[in-house]
Structure 1
Amino acid sequence: MRSGASWIYLSLVFLALLAGVLWMGRTKMASVAEAGRGPIPAPAVDEHVSAPATETAVFAGGCFWGVQSVFQRVKGVTATTAGYSGGTKETANYRDVSAHRTQHAEAVKIVYDPSKVSYGTLLRVFFSVVHDPTQLNRQGNDIGESYRSAIFLSTPEQQKVAAAYIAQLDEAHTFPKKIVTQLVPLEAFYDGEDYHQDYAEKNPHNPYIQVCDVPKIAGLKQQFPELFQEYERK
């Protein structure tokens, strides 16, 4: 719907989207922002820093434009790729995924240096400012299975850290509703089309980006100033 829609359509819906800014902001911060407590708690269980210089995480949390735009600005993240995970290679394309004809979720592959940012810290950002983990098969006005909240797990340690963190947040009633984020073994990640890569950076004046993604970047800078870095597209 987003990139396939004409600019005329986007202009027509801009006012409606703008009217929903406050509500969209509520979904990103949920009860944490309402309570004025700042960032959600750090994970009590985190990964053990091992020998490899880089590791990979794959997250799905609504439109991959916004997910990528946040993690591009996290210190210790060395590369991000927008793409698809959860379905087959044959259906890993935007036309089919956006029509919800596949098992894919819009996802982002994150390559990071665990000596600079841990997997648990990435999860904290994911749950804090990237999306609302209590919304089932949607994020705001983006509705459908491809917008689901999911963590695609590469290792048993990622499974351990993610499961423990979700339990920790639920037990603390950090959000007003139970977290619905799926924990799924990563079978494959398929790169998205070229025009989806760095989309928010290439199209900063797109009404969708202004309404839905710019506030997420601001949230990262406000809640995690020690992690924030400006992003320069190569």
Structure 2
Amino acid sequence: MIAIPRPRLVHRLFCVTLAAALAACAPSTPARNTSSAIPPPHIDTTTSAHEASRTAVFAGGCFWGMQWVFEHVRGVQRVEAGYAGGQASTARYGIVSSGNTRHAESVRVRYDPAQISYGQLLRVYFSVATDPTQRNRQGPDVGTQYRGVLFTADAEQERIARAYVEQLSTAGVFNRPIVTRIQSLKGFYPAEAYHQDYARQHPRSLYIVVNDAPKITQLRQQLPALYRATPVTYTP
């Protein structure tokens, strides 16, 4: 079993306890009807047989759950938890947790473009990985380090991301405005080893049971064509 530093463990247990209290401050209506998946993007990348892999970086709450969700997606080859949005010198959990580093807890997804597209990954992101209507928080986790961001690697990713957000907003898919940000990726910094694959290795943790396990169920139910039962595992 991975030894989790006490501050991290205390923080997560505190957040689970706090969740009920925060619910009183949250909007009374859900972000959307979760009985079905959101529509696929109208604009997307084309499949490629010439590239073995591409990468995409997403932020949208605690990276434990984000990593676990994308590890269950068909065509994904590797998912790494880390930090993006700030400087290399502050890319450490103890500092990022202050909320003053400009970093967001993120995941870097390496995927096979012949099996899955960037637009399909965005569909997973908006359908089950995060609630894009929550600003600077996600569920019980509060702070700028939990904000939703699509860190785009190039002009194509930015074009697809902006078009999809506009598509979802125009269609009124969510009951509240989408507040997910789109910004160019300047750097991704891997998180400490004890964070990698945490949800997969600790599925009975109360925090994981309450906040992350339902996302895997929703992925299987809403996007069965993109779901795989056996997740890819993190390798250093």
* Deviation (angstroms), 1:8: 7.3
CA distance in 2, matches of 1:6, 1:108: 18
Q: 2:231 — aligned with what?
A: 231
Stretches of structure 1 that go unaligned for 5 or more consecutive residues are none
Q: 1:31 — aligned with what?
A: 32
Structure 2 matches for 1:95-106, cutoff 5 A?
95-106=94-105
Give yes or no for contact 1:84–1:104 (8 Å, CA) kept in 2.
yes
1:163 aligned onto 2:138: no
Give yes or no for contact 1:18–1:211 (8 Å, CA) kept in 2.
no
Give yes or no for contact 1:68–1:80 (8 Å, CA) kept in 2.
yes
Structure 2 matches for 1:1-234, cutoff 5 A?
4-5=6-7, 17=19, 30-33=31-34, 36=35, 38-50=36-48, 51-229=50-228, 230-231=230-231, 233=233
Per-residue CA deviations over 1:57-105 (Å, capped at 9, x if unaligned) read 0000100000000000000000000000000000000001111120100
Give yes or no for contact 1:17–1:211 (8 Å, CA) kept in 2.
no
Give yes or no for contact 1:62–1:147 (8 Å, CA) kept in 2.
yes
| Residue aligned with 1:60, SS | strand
| Residue aligned with 1:162, SS | helix
Stretches of structure 2 that go unaligned for 5 or more consecutive residues are none
| Residue aligned with 1:170, SS | helix
The count of aligned residue pairs is 227
In structure 2, the CA distance between the partners of 1:76 and 1:5, relative to structure 1 (3 Å rule), is same
In structure 2, the CA distance between the partners of 1:208 and 1:110, relative to structure 1 (3 Å rule), is same
Q: TM-score, normalised by structure 1?
A: 0.88
In structure 2, the CA distance between the partners of 1:6 and 1:78, relative to structure 1 (3 Å rule), is closer
CA distance in 2, matches of 1:57, 1:68: 12
Identity of paired residues, percent?
45
* Deviation (angstroms), 1:32: 2.5
* Deviation (angstroms), 1:4: 4.0
* Deviation (angstroms), 1:14: 5.1
Tell me which protein shows more helix as a share of its residues: 1
Q: TM-score, normalised by structure 2?
A: 0.88
* Deviation (angstroms), 1:141: 1.5
Give yes or no for contact 2:99–2:144 (8 Å, CA) kept in 1.
yes
Give yes or no for contact 2:13–2:207 (8 Å, CA) kept in 1.
no
Question: Bigger shift: 88-97 or 221-230?
Answer: 221-230
CA distance in 2, matches of 1:154, 1:9: 32
Per-residue CA deviations over 1:41-70 (Å, capped at 9, x if unaligned) read 000000123421100000001000000000
